[in-house]
Amino acid sequence: AQSVAQPEDQVNVAEGNPLTVKCTYSVSGNPYLFWYVQYPNRGLQFLLKYITGDNLVKGSYGFEAEFNKSQTSFHLKKPSALVSDSALYFCAVRDTDKLIFGTGTRLQVFP
Amino acid sequence: DTAVSQTPKYLVTQMGNDKSIKCEQNLGHDTMYWYKQDSKKFLKIMFSYNNKELIINETVPNRFSPKSPDKAHLNLHINSLELGDSAVYFCASEGRGNEKLFFGSGTQLSVL
């Protein structure tokens, strides 16, 4: 079965610094990988996806993610964090006809 | 216009009651889902429908019954509510080949 793991419950970063939110995957076949963000009291919003092609995927709000096949990782990155990026971030993998989500990582950006 | 809308936003009820949550999408999508988010924010799929047909039923107790009157609506009825049903329930939709889910803002269910 397909799965993703997010090893960090929380990531703290100062505003203006680069941020990384980690995700590793376990799949049979080619992975379809996603990142979603959840702001307080809101539903999840799509950030970006990797299906095939370039390993560096660019998404919404200045986020990007790097697909690394050898390390089975799909880390989310942003060069310069904003306080408004503080939210819950979910990595997900496509399993046939559904998305399987990781446990989520809370990103806290401090002014 | 909200793309995926759920009602109610909050639902507080007693154990043993029956309640429904409604979901509507105006995106013209064929596939709709129900996800449950527990108190630790873990998200788990419950059901999916494609064009009114049940596709996924993830070992959810049969007290939970989804109903899709048309492809724009997927409602969730819960019988004999239990304390463990307390969670946030999210509806989502997906267009064909889109590979991207659009989520509603959730229904926070509290069973007392």
CB neighbours (10 Å) of residue A77? 15
Q: What is the pLDDT of residues A79-105, one digit of tens each?
A: 999 999 999 999 999 988 889 999 999
A32, A43, A103 ranked by CB distance to B104: nearest = A43
A33-38 vs A87-95, strand pairing mode: antiparallel
Q: Report the residue of B101, B107, B108 to disrupt the A interface, i.e. the one with the largest count of A CBs within 10 Å.
A: B101
- Provide the residue count of chain B: 112
Chain A, nearest residue to B40 by Cα? A103
- Whether the predicted pLDDT of B98 surpasses 70: no
Q: What is the pLDDT of residues A12-52, one digit of tens each?
A: 999 999 999 999 999 888 889 999 999 988 899 999 999 98
A101 touches chain B (CB under 8 A): yes
**Distance, in angstroms, between B94 CA and closest chain A CA?**
10
Confidence of residue B57 (pLDDT cuts 50, 70, 90): confident
**Distance, in angstroms, between A44 CA and closest chain B CA?**
6
pLDDT for position B21: 98
Contact B106 A49 (CB under 8 A): no
Please check whether residue A54 is in contact with residue A104, taking contact to mean a CB–CB distance below 8 angstroms: no
A99 touches chain B (CB under 8 A): yes
**Distance, in angstroms, between B109 CA and closest chain A CA?**
13
Q: Indicate the range of A16-25, A93-102, B14-23, B70-79 predicted with least confidence.
A: A93-102
